[in-house]
Amino acid sequence: MTFGRSGAASVVLNVGGARYSLSRELLKDFPLRRVSRLHGCRSERDVLEVCDDYDHERNEYFFDRHSEAFGFILLYVRGHGKLRFAPRMCELSFYNEMIYWGLEGAHLEYCCQRRLDDRMSDTYTFYTAEEPGALGRDEARPGGAEAAPSRRWLERMRRTFEEPTSSLAAQILASVSVVFVIVSMVVLCASTLPDWRAAAADNRSLDDRSRYSAGPGREPSGIIEAICIGWFTAECIVRFIVSKNKCEFVKRPLNIIDLLAITPYYISVLMTVFTGENSQLQRAGVTLRVLRMMRIFWVIKLARHFIGLQTLGLTLKRCYREMVMLLVFICVAMAIFSALSQLLEHGLDLETSNKDFASIPAACWWVIISMTTVGYGDMYPITVPGRILGGVCVVSGIVLLALPITFIYHSFVQCYHELKFRSARYSRSLSAEFLN
């Protein structure tokens, strides 16, 4: 029986002077873990371990906490909106209130999570939950406690596959996945060597069957490729099963890349099965080679395990306006300088014209390699006005490329620190798991 005044149908929570009345039936399954713990208290000592004070006569529990923050949290757990920071309140203080009541940073909206990460990174502050087994986002909703074990298991599986630094098992799984990616890339690169192709041709002459025959490939490279594809396919299927939102899972760029890297193998197998060993196989040979070369997308899978690649992707996502602006600068300058160079090198004097600048599209190639200061030397101006224009083109390219780079650089640094800080938080939980 719950400790408290007998016969009382409800209890009162006094949080920083604000009073909230709750029925005893709702107390047991209340989404906030600290409040639901009151239902299991058997003595006044147990109650005082949960709250700061207790009035037996009025059956009132006192919590010396921020009342406005608790109001925001209470509205969220009752399903009346999304959890955001309370106005005019420090992000760290609000997060401290969340941990006290049993919530995590994952319950915040994404914009508020970024603000919290930035603030914690600036102050080098780390918070940990007071008790193990913090609730997930779904458990903090009404009725979530009934399916808590299954949801907790799914959340643990999801973190294991999606967040490589969240646990020791996730570290091992990520390491195995990286090994498969590296092995697959080594086999792909080695298969383009002349000696490798000659050995493969000799094997095909002995056994007139392609690597993608209906049965498993007899060559070692075919077996290795099949094993790698099997691992990536199983990993993708498991991650799809344990994902919270299936539609959002399909829309994620990394998952699309995984699909593009896996699908060509199965398409090439089906094409070989249906074309057989007749003349259609020669027409399908180019398509098969293109599909096999799409395995290069597997390199991008490493972005799941390395902060550097994640930082690059996040920077490009956040700086797409600056990237578009940079592209516009280059296109405008390329149109101007290509037209002028074509006129000065080819259009004014047809007898001594420079054949490399016979058209504006041909001059565009010279402009782009000059603006980026690459200068292959395959084409260059020979007239004095053309060389002067070339110097102006090089200087203009340096200036135009430098203008948006500053914004992209600052965004890259911010993204790197943000991802590094999140990785540090998961590493702390990993260290605790290893010690336990």
Position 138 pLDDT exceeds 60: no
Nearest of 322, 313, 311, 173 to residue 253 by alpha carbon? 313
Q: What is the mean pLDDT of the chain?
A: 76
Measure the CA–CA gap between 18 and 26, rounded to whole angstroms. 19
* Order of strands, sheet of 53-55, starting from the edge strand that comes earlier in the sequence: 18-23, 10-15, 60-63, 53-55
| pLDDT, tens only, 178-205 | 888 888 888 878 877 887 767 666 665 5
Q: Would you give the DSSP letter of residue 6?
A: T
> What is the SS3 assignment for 194?
helix
Weakest-pLDDT range from 124-138, 229-243, 350-364:
124-138
Q: Which two tokens stand for residue 83?
A: 């959890």
According to DSSP H, which parts of 78-191 are helical? 91-101, 110-123, 148-162, 168-190
Position 54 pLDDT exceeds 60: yes
Measure the CA–CA gap between 139 and 145, rounded to whole angstroms. 6
Helix H or strand E encompassing 335 = helix 320-342
| pLDDT, tens only, 318-339 | 888 888 888 999 999 999 999 9
Residue 123 pLDDT level (bands cut at 50, 70, 90): low
Q: What is the DSSP string of 263-306?
A: HHHHHHHHHHHHHTTSTHHHHHHHHHHHHHHGGGGGGGGGGGT-
Position 145 pLDDT exceeds 50: no
| pLDDT, tens only, 363-420 | 999 999 999 888 888 888 888 888 999 999 999 999 988 888 888 888 888 888 777 7
| pLDDT, tens only, 262-288 | 887 888 777 777 765 444 444 555 666
pLDDT in the model for residue 269? 78
Contacts of 284 (CB under 8 A, 6+ apart): 271, 272, 275
Q: Which two tokens stand for residue 359?
A: 């058209």
Helix, strand, coil percentages, rounded to 5, for the chain = 65, 5, 30
Is residue 152 within 8 A of residue 138, CB to CB? The reply is: no
Residue 432 pLDDT level (bands cut at 50, 70, 90): very low
Nearest of 154, 49, 65, 59 to residue 103 by alpha carbon? 65
Question: What's the predicted TM-score (pTM) here?
Answer: 0.55
Higher per-residue confidence, 126 vs 164: 164
Task: Provide mean pLDDT across the span 6-22.
Answer: 78
pLDDT in the model for residue 215? 42
Question: ∠ CA(374), CA(376), CA(382), 5° rounding?
Answer: 110
Position 128 pLDDT exceeds 50: no
pLDDT in the model for residue 148? 54
Beta strands 10-15 and 60-63 are parallel
| pLDDT, tens only, 226-259 | 888 888 888 888 888 888 778 888 888 778 878 8
Position 430 pLDDT exceeds 80: no
pLDDT in the model for residue 263? 82
Q: What is the DSSP string of 86-103?
A: PTTS-HHHHHHHHHHHT-
pLDDT in the model for residue 141? 46
